[in-house]
Amino acid sequence: MPCDYSIYPPNWLSEIRPRILARANNKCEVCGNVMFFQDSQLAHRICKSKMHLKKYGKEIIHHSLNLALVCGLECNSAVNIGNNPMEVEKLIKRIEDSLRG
């Protein structure tokens, strides 16, 4: 199923996604497989569920610090921190600090 980019910030494809690929040196952040723009996936560390979008907002959920470059579903699952409240809290603080500048 194709991705619905309307739910993401307008600069998703032009800035955010390329920035994350560069940050990860074009490698899966879990297993190290080399990735290319067209076949890469970005995984949300705190998933983009309706509950999380309502609780934290799009600015937090789609922030680059909440995203990891992965090569597939197995690696996508490996970056999910949703079941670790302390990790979620630390990441939210890092994102909020980043947004404040």
- Compute CA 20 distance to the chain's CA centroid, rounded to the nearest angstrom: 9
Domain count, the chain: 1
- Determine contact, residues 23/65, Cβ cutoff 8 Å: no
Mean pLDDT on 57-77: 92
pLDDT in tens, 16-51: 888 999 999 999 999 999 988 777 889 999 999 999
Give the number of C-alpha atoms closer than 13 A to the C-alpha of residue 24, restricted to the C-beta side: 29
Output the average pLDDT for the chain: 90
Under the banding of pLDDT at 50, 70 and 90, the label for residue 63 is very high
pLDDT at residue number 15: 87
Residue span of the structural domain in which 21 resides: 5-100
